[in-house]
Amino acid sequence: MIQKNGFDPVDLIPPDSEHSWGTWEEKAALHPFASPSPCLLLVEADAGWQTFLKLALSEEGYALQVASSLEHALAQASMQTFDLVLVHLPDDSPRQLLKTMKSLRERIQPIKLGVITNWEISSEAAENHGFAFILPPPVTLEPLLAQIAICLQRPIVPAQARQAQVVRQFLEMLTLKEYQKLFSLCTDDLVCYSLPSSPVPLARTIRGKEALELCLEALRSRYRALRVEIQHIYSRPRGLVAQHLLWWAETDGAWALQSGFSLLQFSGERLRQIGLQAERN
């Protein structure tokens, strides 16, 4: 089940008509200086989760249409182009889920397909079936937002170029332990949080530069010779997402590796919010 992280479900106003056609690439071709929102089709039968996901995805800045069944989704996909179809529906078994989603994937090509499931299904199985991503339990909102942004691979727009540079500088200063320079890249009311599977020793949420300094000291004491290597930075409607690798030396001298992502929001050109997630390779 998806963890709601404190959101209160409310009814939403339907997306504007300007978002009711075409992929964001097609919109960008017509409006090269604009940053059109990608259009998602959410397939969700449960009324409570449908309301919650509508709220979360709309607040993130996505144009959104909703279907309550696969039949409804196929009808909408035949009349409108979407950047991603996101499915969260019950199924009797992992095998049945993969079979159903594979059939859907074949019928909506070339639209990307993301799946939220209550079953433990490997990313390798999802990739073999042509899914853009699959989120097994427990699922939280932040990884969902990151997976959507990563699978869409939306390039950074000119207005975000300086923000992407700030992200690279922040992680470089973290590696070099140049904390004062690192703090200069953040707002005074910076918010940092980590998810349960993250190796970074943050409390659930910390606020302010002083709290960040304490966590950086804890990070330095826990991980020797920590290095951060950025793989990709993609645009989100409400910020950026960075894919990265974390390297550090274990007590026996061996190097450990974790891959992960950071969800980033800004105030102007300074970091205002950082969300961390990593998984052991």
pLDDT per position as a tens digit, 165-177: 999 999 888 888 8
- Alpha carbons 88 and 98: distance in angstroms, whole number: 13
What pTM does this model have? Answer: 0.80
Please state the three-class secondary structure of 17-64 as a single string.
Answer: HHHCCCCHHHHHHHCCCCCCCCEEEEEECCHHHHHHHHHHHHHHCCEE
Tens of pLDDT along 209-258? 888 887 787 777 777 888 889 999 999 999 999 999 988 888 788 898 88
Q: What's the length of the chain? A: 281
Rounded to an integer, the average pLDDT of 194-222 is 71
User: Per-residue pLDDT for 4 more than 80?
Assistant: no
- Alpha carbons 141 and 160: distance in angstroms, whole number: 23
User: Per-residue pLDDT for 12 more than 60?
Assistant: no
- 143 versus 198: the higher-pLDDT residue is 143
Query: 83 CB contacts (<8 Å, ≥6 apart)?
Result: 23, 24, 38, 39, 40, 111, 112, 152
Q: What is the mean pLDDT of the chain?
A: 82
**Which of 8-22, 28-42, 70-84, 157-171 bottoms out in mean pLDDT, i.e. has the lowest?**
8-22
Per-residue pLDDT, 190:
92
Per-residue pLDDT, 234:
97
Query: How many of the other CB atoms lie within 10 Å of CB of 72?
Result: 15
Q: Is 237 helix (H, G, I), strand (E, B) or coil?
A: coil
Q: How confident is the model at residue 9 (pLDDT cuts 50, 70, 90)?
A: very low
User: Per-residue pLDDT for 82 more than 80?
Assistant: yes
Per-residue pLDDT, 25:
46
- Alpha carbons 280 and 199: distance in angstroms, whole number: 9
Are 44 and 89 a contacting pair, CB within 8 Å? yes
Q: How many Cα neighbours within 13 Å face the side chain of 48?
A: 6
- 165 versus 3: the higher-pLDDT residue is 165
Rounded to an integer, the average pLDDT of 87-103 is 89
Domains and CATH numbers, the chain: 2-152 (3.40.50.2300), 158-280 (3.10.450.50)
Query: How many of the other CB atoms lie within 10 Å of CB of 92?
Result: 9
